[in-house]
Amino acid sequence: MSLGDLKVALVHDELVRRGGAERVLEELIRVFPRAHIYALYASNTPFITVDGKRYRIRTTFLQKFPVWFRQHPRRLALLLLHAAERLDLSKYDLVISSSSAFAKGIVTRSYVPHISYCHTPTRYIWERHSGGIFEKVAQHFLKMADFAAGQRPDIFVANSKYTQARLRKYYRRESTVIYPPVATDFYSPAYTSQKKEYFLCVGRLTPAKQFDQAIAICEKLRLPLHIAGVGQDYARLKNLAGPATTFLGKISDEELRLQYRGAWALLQPGIEDFGMATVESLACGTPVITPAAGGAPEIIEDGKHGILYREPVMELLAEAINKFLQKRESFNPSVLQEQALKFSRSYFRSSLRNVVEEVLRKQHTGSTL
């Protein structure tokens, strides 16, 4: 059976916003355009648009909760695995989950292969330090549930070697690494010389991104900073900001490309499991300043594609910015773009097809997946 003849289900955690995980899902849809798309819950308009075509999203009972409640996964944490388990996926030849939480916990028949693309093991379960007795009990239960969910996939695919190591640590599972797809044909350097005028932060406004560090340093040094993104941390970050910081909010891909091209460097103070914005910035010929942790060292060579610093603390970020300002003319946009091309959509598609074909081959021959 060819890949085009397969009945495929794509299962995503939640579709209420568009970030890196959702861009991976969009690429999965391009690989399997006839697939049925599932999510544990979605926005009030349960459709996803890819290349101008709308795809219906099939959801669970969680969709009945008010939208203000289901926008925060932690509120639904005790119900997420139950919702995943209730999905009926028996009619498909292949199921691919796109998971950073409980989508990996779906139940499939023994003859239906389940490949789970893992963006991260569930962060708010494994890397959150609880306070009171109730929180600790709930956290213990969630860890057991998430570990059980982590045993369900036949094959794990990790988005980086960093995530691969964490899959081994938390779920005791091995995995194959396929880096996320970045539109390196779209994100590219400007054809003409564009003036560089500011530092840039890109991503959801959450505490984990640590954009507050970038704001504090840029305000102190009076260096212009643009922040592209929306999220729960907006009010706090806005209160910290001064005249040097500009909040761009939610912007189009075209506008984001212009922002990358016009930046001195992308600042990523938080630890990323991979870092799609890092690759997008490099693809536009703009270096990156980020901690030498998470997936960043798999993308950036210090001094060649940007500046890596030891750990995500403000003092080291300040040192890295000063180091960058002294040598910023030495970064070659062509070298940066060449590095980004290693994480292209075509790489993702061919690597994914190889994994799927191997899984189907083993299934056909009766080998262990």
Summarised one tens digit per residue, pLDDT across range 188-220 is 998 777 778 999 999 999 999 999 999 999 999
Sort 24 into a burial class: Cβ within 10 Å, 0-12 / 13-18 / 19+.
buried
Domain assignment of residue 206, given as a range: 198-343
Tell me: pLDDT of 18 over 70.
Answer: yes
Q: What is the pTM of this model?
A: 0.91
Assigned domain for 188 exists = no
Assigned domain for 192 exists = no
149 and 33 within one domain: yes
Assigned domain for 94 exists = yes
Rg value, the chain, Cα: 21
Tell me: pLDDT of 114 over 60.
Answer: yes
Assigned domain for 267 exists = yes
351 and 299 within one domain: no
Determine the pLDDT at residue 365: 74
Assigned domain for 187 exists = no
177 and 90 within one domain: yes
338 and 213 within one domain: yes
Assigned domain for 186 exists = no
Determine the pLDDT at residue 367: 65
216 and 165 within one domain: no
The answer to which of 62-71, 167-176, 235-244, 282-291 has the lowest mean pLDDT is 62-71
Backbone angles phi, psi at 283, to 5 degrees: -60, -30
256 and 153 within one domain: no
Determine the pLDDT at residue 369: 65
Determine the pLDDT at residue 17: 84
pLDDT, mean of residues 54-74: 83
Tell me: pLDDT of 319 over 60.
Answer: yes
Assigned domain for 189 exists = no
Tell me: pLDDT of 1 over 60.
Answer: no
* CATH code at position 167: 3.40.50.2000
Query: Is residue 162 within 8 Å of residue 298, measured between CB atoms?
Result: yes
Assigned domain for 190 exists = no
96 and 78 within one domain: yes
Residues pairing with 156 in the sheet: 116
pLDDT, mean of residues 145-165: 96
Query: Is residue 14 within 8 Å of residue 40, measured between CB atoms?
Result: yes
SS3 294: coil
User: How far out from the chain centre does Cα 37 lie?
Assistant: 18
Provide the token pair at 158. 């990790």
In total, how many domains does the chain have? 2
145 and 37 within one domain: yes
> Mean pLDDT of all residues in the chain?
92
Residues sharing a CB contact under 8 Å with residue 17, sequence separation 6 or more, in sequence order: 204
d(CA 314, CA 269): 8
- Rounded to the nearest 10 degrees, the angle between the axes of helix 77-85 and helix 133-149 is 20
Instruction: State the alpha helices, DSSP H only, in the chain.
Output: 20-31, 67-70, 77-85, 123-126, 133-149, 161-171, 211-221, 234-240, 253-262, 276-283, 314-327, 333-340, 345-365
350 and 298 within one domain: no
287 and 317 within one domain: yes
| Other Cβ atoms closer than 10 A to 53 | 10
177 and 160 within one domain: yes
Task: Give the CB-side neighbour count of residue 22, counting CA atoms within 13 A.
Answer: 14
158 and 242 within one domain: no
Percent of the chain with pLDDT over 70: 96
* Nearest CA-CA partner of 290 in 304, 278, 298: 278
Determine the pLDDT at residue 366: 67
